[in-house]
Amino acid sequence: MSRLRSARPLAATLVTGAVLVCTMLATIAPTPALASSHREAPLISGQPQYDNTDLYAFVSPDHPDTTTLIANWIPFEDPAGGPNFYKFATDARYDVNIDPDGQGGADLTYRWTFKDHVRNPNTFLYNTGPVTSLDDPDLNVRQTYDLSLVRRKDGVLQSTTTLLEDVPVAPSNVGRASMPDYAKLREQAVRSLPGGGKVFAGQADDPFFLDLRVFDLLYGGNLSEVGNDSLRGYNVNTVAIQVPSKLLHASNQPVVGVWTTTSRGSALGGFRQVSRLGMPLVNEVVIPRKDKDKFNASVPWKDAQFLKDVTNPELPKLIQAIYKLPAPAEPRNDLVQVFLTGVPGLNQPPKVRPAEMLRLNTSIKPSASPKRLGVLDGDTAGFPNGRRLADDVVDIALQVVEGELVGKKNDLGDGVNANDVAFGASFPYVALPQSGSDVRGAAGKTATGAALAGGTKPDSGSAAGGGTTQLDADNAASRAPADGWPAPAIAVVVAAVVVAVVVPDDFFEEPQPAAVRASAATRVSVANVFTRLSGGFRLWDENRGRFYFARRRRRGPEGARLAARGTARRWEAAGGAARRGSRQPVLGKISKFHRRRSHLRRWVNPLGRNDPRKLTRAGAAVSLPPLGVPRGTPLVRPARGSEGPSRERAHSGKVRTEPKVLRFPARAP
């Protein structure tokens, strides 16, 4: 009882602490900046370990019956950035999602999760000697990963299959003295998949090439800032997978949609999506700043909310204002095909739902002579039919945005036409990472002039002749421990309250289709720390993607009650009722038989005992009315005998054996 009586002042203390923590976080939060193509949104720009930089999907040139998917994370890795070199986050899920039917859902997901291994924590060295193999004892800091395949149907989880476990990651290329034969380490990191295919994870040269000075008022406002590969000399962390194409697409059509997501683990359990990438440059130059973080947390199924940004793009208006090139007429339905639905006759699936993702027609064979402008230059195996490593997506995007597909022929480009390092001829195709021994920014001639007006000229300002101007990014977040906890125990509690109370409930969670919400199971997760401190617990509603913090109220005439923080509307689907004289809703009424906290019993929906919508906690369960069920529906607790022996007894000391009906009010709060 003492803990129950102290719940109210303790809650006030926690809220006060939450306000203080929010104030502190506001002072250390990353300042939103005009992001490059690799730091596309304000929030993710401060979390490079979770920042998905690029996605590639193409039919494998040396194995045309397979499809290769490549995704990169952690932008602007300086090769000499030790002693804490670059690693994947251990509290994240790195997902490559596949839509085989054009309906905007991830029916297949290849998921990488990583673990750290340190042989000698008493040294600051990444490696203690020359590393000649991935299991070399001199490789002091290493990572391994598990690869799993998640299958869904209509958005509902069907199965999760572990394909590989404890696979080594190719390390950061520290330098020639530390890793004299890095190509050998790369080769050892390529592993075979059960059922056919290959997989790789490790460091690679950043394959994206462009001049990032586009953000300086579109190449300096006078075309003087073009022709320099801003990513020359930087590395990224890469995952790549090659699988038989028949495993990806539906049996009746060969077009697949591909996008990647990064979900970060929460201290309270579960994962929240923090990054998303499909088509290149969409979140950089199509989505406005106010929606960039929202886009990163969204799912393609809900992309209709961003349609106006595609049909009324900002970039052509800026080009018109600065360079006096007339913008094409709106609405831009041609951009809808490129970015959302696929091009008819090329890579548009039947009955497609508009959604932003890479769309690849796996029936189109690789080109014997690939052209960097892809489809615009007659090469149907290139972008926007998927994306190959050598596709010049910046020049393609500039020309398409300026009306190439609606009859306004142009030759726009940024003067950077190729990567600074040649790509490989076999899987994983990405170039070896830059070595820490190399000096980045060696002297070279920077191309200048009107390259924007002549971007298709061969070798104009290619990476081999790039200049020294580079964009440095703060990678401090990638060097911090990913799974560290605050030292004081109270900081954990306060941080949890901040996440639960202050951060909007639907900010990180993926919005789900109504059909998915209606069929997904609802679970309850009870946080012991809150139970012990305030006599309460947390409810997780997977259908709505929200946490609810509930605590016991003081006993009343009708027994104990459970009060949940939030609005009464949140509890409408759960049959909640607003407590008289209070703004806080109450989850029904619990009889005096359930006064003690441990007496959270099972309530069975009379519409179906096996209804999947059950709340589970440590062996106990509570069933809520299905979504859409009238609010007057009674919930019946089964007879005690049907549940087997029980240690719980009624207030009178006798065991109940008859069913008890609990009816929620018919009127909404």
Q: Quick one: 430 and 522 in the same domain?
A: no
For the chain, give the percent of residues with pLDDT over 90.
54
Q: Quick one: 456 and 579 in the same domain?
A: no
Tell me the C-alpha distance between 390 and 396, whole Å: 12
Residue 357 forms part of a structural domain? yes
Q: Give me the pLDDT at residue 56, please.
A: 98
Q: What is the mean pLDDT of the chain?
A: 73
Structure tokens at 11: 């809650």
For the whole model, what pTM was predicted?
A: 0.65
- Contact yes or no for 274/262 (Cβ under 8 A): yes
Residue 366 forms part of a structural domain? yes
Q: Give me the pLDDT at residue 12, please.
A: 43
Q: Give me the pLDDT at residue 268, please.
A: 85
Q: Quick one: 447 and 537 in the same domain?
A: no
Measured in degrees and rounded to the nearest 5, phi and psi for residue 627 equal -60, 135
Q: Quick one: 338 and 473 in the same domain?
A: yes
Q: Quick one: 36 and 162 in the same domain?
A: yes
Q: Quick one: 51 and 183 in the same domain?
A: yes
Q: Give me the pLDDT at residue 326, please.
A: 93
Q: Which of 479, 498, 526 is the last residue of a domain?
A: 479
198-205 β-sheet, strand order: 52-59, 66-77, 235-244, 198-205, 191-192
Q: Give me the pLDDT at residue 617, please.
A: 37
DSSP state letter for 584: S
- Tokens 């006798």 — which residue? 654
Structure tokens at 183: 């190509």
Nearest Cα neighbor of 107 from 396, 313, 349, 403 is: 349
Q: Quick one: 91 and 161 in the same domain?
A: yes
Least confident of 63-72, 145-154, 217-226, 589-598: 589-598
Query: 148 or 650: which carries more pLDDT confidence?
Result: 148
Q: Quick one: 178 and 256 in the same domain?
A: yes
Residue 24 forms part of a structural domain? no
Least confident of 116-130, 373-387, 489-503: 489-503
Query: 223 or 173: which carries more pLDDT confidence?
Result: 173
Q: How far is CA 196 from CA 221, 238, 241, 243, 250, in A?
A: 51, 20, 11, 6, 18
Contacts of 349 (CB under 8 A, 6+ apart): 101, 102, 253, 255, 257, 342, 359
3-state SS class at 463: helix
Q: Give me the pLDDT at residue 472, please.
A: 31
Tell me the C-alpha distance between 649 and 646, whole Å: 8
Q: Quick one: 436 and 534 in the same domain?
A: no
Note the pLDDT tens digit of each residue in 338-357.
Answer: 999 999 999 999 999 999 99
Read off the pLDDT band of 157 (50, 70, 90).
Answer: very high
Least confident of 195-204, 396-405, 474-483, 495-504: 474-483
Note the pLDDT tens digit of each residue in 547-558.
Answer: 444 444 444 444
Note the pLDDT tens digit of each residue in 87-114.
Answer: 999 999 999 999 999 999 999 999 999 9
Residue 485 forms part of a structural domain? no
3-state SS class at 390: coil
Q: Quick one: 299 and 392 in the same domain?
A: yes
Structure tokens at 529: 């720390």
Number of Cβ atoms within 10 Å of the Cβ of 314? 14
- Contact yes or no for 144/506 (Cβ under 8 A): no
Q: Which of 425, 454, 479 is the last residue of a domain?
A: 479
Q: Does the pLDDT value for residue 223 go beyond 80?
A: yes
Q: What is the mean pLDDT of residues 185-190?
A: 98
Read off the pLDDT band of 284 (50, 70, 90).
Answer: confident
Q: Give me the pLDDT at residue 35, please.
A: 32
Residue 2 forms part of a structural domain? no
Residue 198 is part of which domain span? 31-479
Rg (CA), the chain: 28
Note the pLDDT tens digit of each residue in 520-554.
Answer: 333 333 333 333 344 444 444 444 454 444 444 44
Note the pLDDT tens digit of each residue in 378-394.
Answer: 999 999 999 999 999 99
Q: Give me the pLDDT at residue 41, please.
A: 59
Do β-strands 358-361 and 255-265 pair in parallel, antiparallel, or remain unpaired? antiparallel
Q: Does the pLDDT value for residue 497 go beyond 60?
A: no
Tell me the C-alpha distance between 377 and 372, whole Å: 8
- Contact yes or no for 4/11 (Cβ under 8 A): no
Residue 498 forms part of a structural domain? no
Least confident of 180-189, 276-285, 623-632: 623-632
Based on the structure, what is the number of domains in the chain?
2
Q: Give me the pLDDT at residue 303, please.
A: 93
Residue 127 forms part of a structural domain? yes
Q: How far is CA 446 from CA 416, 442, 449, 465, 617, in A?
A: 11, 12, 10, 6, 63
Q: How far apart are the two ends of the chain, measured CA to CA in Å? A: 30
Note the pLDDT tens digit of each residue in 198-222.
Answer: 999 999 999 999 999 988 988 998 8
Tell me the C-alpha distance between 78 and 475, whole Å: 9
Note the pLDDT tens digit of each residue in 401-455.
Answer: 999 999 999 999 999 999 999 999 999 999 999 999 997 654 333 333 333 434 4
Quick one: residue 461, left, alpha or beta (phi over 0 = left, psi -120 to 50 = alpha)? left
Q: Does the pLDDT value for residue 4 go beyond 80?
A: no
Note the pLDDT tens digit of each residue in 16-65.
Answer: 444 433 444 333 333 333 333 355 556 777 789 999 999 999 999 999 99
- Contact yes or no for 201/239 (Cβ under 8 A): yes
DSSP string, 150-205: EEEETTEEEEEEEEEEEEEPB-----TTT-TTHHHHHHHH-EEPTTS-EEEEEEEE
Q: Which of 479, 505, 525 is the last residue of a domain?
A: 479
- Contact yes or no for 458/223 (Cβ under 8 A): no
- Contact yes or no for 396/210 (Cβ under 8 A): no
Q: Does the pLDDT value for residue 566 go beyond 90?
A: no
Read off the pLDDT band of 498 (50, 70, 90).
Answer: very low
Q: Does the pLDDT value for residue 161 go beyond 90?
A: yes
Query: 205 or 8: which carries more pLDDT confidence?
Result: 205
Number of Cβ atoms within 10 Å of the Cβ of 356? 25
Q: Quick one: 518 and 447 in the same domain?
A: no
Buried b (16+ CB within 10 A) or exposed e, 30-46: eeeeebbbbbbbbbbbb
Residue 318 forms part of a structural domain? yes
Q: Quick one: 148 and 205 in the same domain?
A: yes
Q: Does the pLDDT value for residue 579 go beyond 70?
A: no
Q: Give me the pLDDT at residue 410, please.
A: 93
